[in-house]
Amino acid sequence: MRAIFIPAVAAGIACMLQAWTLSAAAASPQHPQADIQRGRYLVRITGCNDCHTPGYPESNGRTPEKEWLTGSPLGWRGPWGTTYASNLRLVMNNMSEAQWLKHARVEWRPPMPWFNLQGMNDADLRAIYRYVRHLGPAGKPAPVYVPPEREPAQPYVQFPAPPK
């Protein structure tokens, strides 16, 4: 009796485990290497480096990967004040993946295209997070925001007031 019962229970558990593994795989991909590659691809084609990597556009996109997303000292000045593209390597290193999903959907000041990030699905945002965490922390924080009435200390790009 016992000899029959145990294999039956074991088979039942094995079946449940298999179903659980399959559904977990569908909900959140368990392929870290694939996520990292996808994150790298997304960062490259969605333009994050254009502002968040120092000297990236000037280098025609040839800045070494180890410097990617380390933040930029170039200011962006307009009616909103002067903003600096943050060091995302440090920002993401200091938060959990769940915190990142919320943080990525905040409305930032111009010229950060937050509206593009809001259009990304969770899987893409997770892939970006896993890629940036894989790169690891590097660099120092970008300069702090300067309010409109103050002249920034470093070079900046001047934007006109938006059309009415």
The binding site for ligand HEC (CB under 6 A) comprises 46-48, 50-52, 76, 83-86, 88, 91, 103-104, 108-109, 111-113, 116-117, 128, 145
For the chain, report the end-to-end CA distance as a whole number of angstroms.
83
* Distance of closest approach, residue 7 Cβ to ligand HEC, in angstroms: 51
Identify which of residues 96 and 116 has a Cβ nearer to ligand HEC in the complex.
116
Closest to ligand HEC by CB, 88 or 127: 88
**Residue 156 bridge partners (DSSP):** 75
Contacts of 106 (CB under 8 A, 6+ apart): 114
Tell me the three-class secondary structure of the chain, residue by residue: CHHHHHHHHHHHHHHHHHHHHHHHHHHCCCCHHHHHHHHHHHHHHCCHHHHHCCCCCCCCCCCCHHHCCCCCCCEEEECCEEEECCCHHHHHHCCCHHHHHHHCCCCCCCCCCHHHHHCCCHHHHHHHHHHHHHHCCCCCCCCCCECCCCCCCCCEEECCCCCC
**Smallest separation (angstroms) from ligand HEC to the CB of 64:** 18
For ligand HEC, the closer CB: 52 or 89: 52
Query: Cβ 33 to ligand HEC, closest distance in Å?
Result: 21
Nearer to ligand HEC, 16 or 106 (CB): 106
CB of 27 to ligand HEC, least distance (A): 23
Q: How far is the CB of 139 from ligand HEC (least distance, A)?
A: 13
CB nearer to ligand HEC: pick between 3 and 161: 161
